[in-house]
Chain A
């Protein structure tokens, strides 16, 4: 059942350019949804609309069947974690966490109990009396999370909360966030530009571009079946081939190569895409057949787990990853095989 609903949200700062255009998003109770996209795509703006920090020009924002569009931020009871953590520098960890509880006029005993509980949940245990500047980045992150969670918010909003941490800690913290989020069963919206982070943590992902949601799906779906060229490019599909329809599931390239895909043609789609990892390099002299395009290696780069080749073919430059065992020199003629099920139409 839909818990959070954004309906036809439009945001414009100057009245001419829309930051968000008729954005629709439905989130279910207990779900962790990510907003993924490059900078400037509107993901942070969407989060700020949800938080109430930005009032949309048009549209409605509904939580639990209550229209909150015009409800001011301080009456929404949403927890928010900022990219900069935004801890109050003049307060201790406990005072930071207790800030929201104090405003709710909780009595002292309940308040202290709640603070202690959340310190335990977030693994901050003994750090309650420290000031933010005495904490490491990861600890600050936990305090920010604890402060947002202790008010028992209806929604947890996270604005790129991991981008200021180093790589190792980032992985640790995202597992931590997921653990706490599941434990408390709190509906959450997570903003990020990092696809790995986003896929690992989310129940569903909304990929955004230019103020529009391009695709809203489970991470696996988005990874395997991007619906638009933008989404495909954003999540690592590097090769795009223009096609003409031949028969059901059979297409030809401009040069007459026949390509088959396991996917059905939909109106308006005439581009096939495939990840460099999914293309197979056939041994020289292999027989020509469908889904094979010949080409010549232009550049070879070493990626660590494999070699990457830029191959010049009749359908343009194709990026292919090949095994470490064989290193083809530039100038080498290769046959590239595009497996039917890996070739996606966008």
Chain B
């Protein structure tokens, strides 16, 4: 294929534009100066140590892990049966429901955050932890339904019917035959939903409260008062974590299959 110079240059520029800010963050996390600075003077791992010594960050990190994990597991428990019903049976208004389940992924985050704030905090007056959990459950659900749904769409349901004819009850056939064959989709949806929930700012921002703060929110609070490279260090750690997760997905399943 003929190379097109102009296009290559544009592609390089876009890549640089995306990559340079990240690169700068990585570099600043190693600077000795207590304010964020680029280029850096000196080299230190102190800020990484500081991440682990800053209680508010560590606590909210654990909270975020907890919330995201629980929310994603709940979303799996609800989302897999929902996706199954949508794929398997001609449920009335199936297409409308499919687009409805996608809607949280299309509506601006602030709007969802605000709506959930209205509903969960003002109307239901749920405790903060439960509220946060419910919010994250809701934003995770579309990922589960979509990704598991697309796995199910590719599944030949006659394998389920064959299992019935061989003597399986419906539940047993679902567990023994359907689930093992959508494993990849379930795992992928779990990863995507988890990462999305963990990184989500608007919903966490609206639903966090005294003593219960998700990591992105604490991070922003921290920046307001201390503009030091700890934030950069934490960002680098999060990026590395995400990249490792994505790498695992890619290696075990292949991202191409998921989209």
Contacts and interface: CB of A to CB of B under 8 A. Distances in A.
A299 B161 CA distance: 50
B93 to A, nearest CB: 17
Contacts of A88: 159, 162-163, 177, 181
Contacts of B170: 74
B159 A74 contact: no
B153 to A, nearest CB: 15
B159 A151 contact: no
Interface string A72-114: 0111111110111011111000000001100110000000000
Most buried by A among B162, B167, B168, B170: B162
B259 interface: no
B90 to A, nearest CB: 10
A103 B167 CA distance: 7
Contacts of A75: 167
A73 B173 CA distance: 12
A38 B143 CA distance: 42
B161 A86 contact: yes
Interface in A324-345: none
Contact of A84 (B156, B167, B169, B172): B156
Contacts of A84: 156, 158
A53 interface: yes
Contacts, number: 62
Given A82-B158, A86-B158, A86-B161, A99 B181 contact: no
Chain A interface size range: 20 to 34
B165 A51 contact: yes
A93 to B, nearest CB: 14
A151 B167 contact: yes
B187 interface: no
A43 interface: no
Contact of A77 (B158, B161, B167, B180): B167
A79 B161 CA distance: 11
B178 to A, nearest CB: 10
A157 B180 CA distance: 26
Given A86-B156, A90-B180, A90-B181, A80 B162 contact: yes
Contacts of A82: 158, 161-162
Contact of A103 (B162, B166, B181): B166
B164 interface: yes
Nearest to A86: B158
Interface string B213-239: 000000000000000000000000000
A147 interface: yes
B159 A73 contact: no
Interface string A41-82: 000000000011100000000000000000001111111101
B168 A103 contact: yes
A86 B166 contact: no
Contacts of B169: 74
A14 to B, nearest CB: 11
B167 A74 contact: yes
Contacts of B166: 74, 79, 99-100, 103, 147, 151
A53 B165 CA distance: 9
A80 B165 contact: yes
A73 B164 contact: yes
Contact of B165 (A79, A83, A90): A79
Nearest to A159: B158
Given A74-B169, A99-B166, A89 B181 contact: yes
Residue from the set B161, B163, B165, B172 with the largest chain A CB neighbour count within 10 Å: B165
A83 B157 CA distance: 12
A74 B165 contact: yes
Contacts of B168: 74, 103
A78 B159 contact: no
Nearest to A103: B167
Interface in B125-172: 156, 158-159, 161-170, 172
Interface of A: 51-53, 73-80, 82-84, 86-90, 99-100, 103-104, 147-148, 151, 157
30 contacts: A51-B165, A53-B161, A73-B161, A74-B164, A74-B166, A74-B169, A74-B170, A75-B167, A77-B167, A78-B165, A79-B166, A80-B161, A80-B162, A82-B158, A86-B158, A86-B159, A86-B162, A87-B159, A88-B159, A89-B159, A89-B181, A90-B180, A90-B181, A99-B163, A99-B166, A100-B166, A103-B167, A104-B167, A147-B166, A151-B166
Return the 7 tightest CB-CB contacts between A and B, nearest first.
A100-B166, A86-B158, A103-B167, A80-B165, A86-B162, A82-B158, A90-B180
Interface of B: 156, 158-159, 161-170, 172, 177, 180-181
Given A73-B165, A86-B158, A86-B161, 4 more contacts: A51-B161, A74-B169, A82-B158, A147-B166
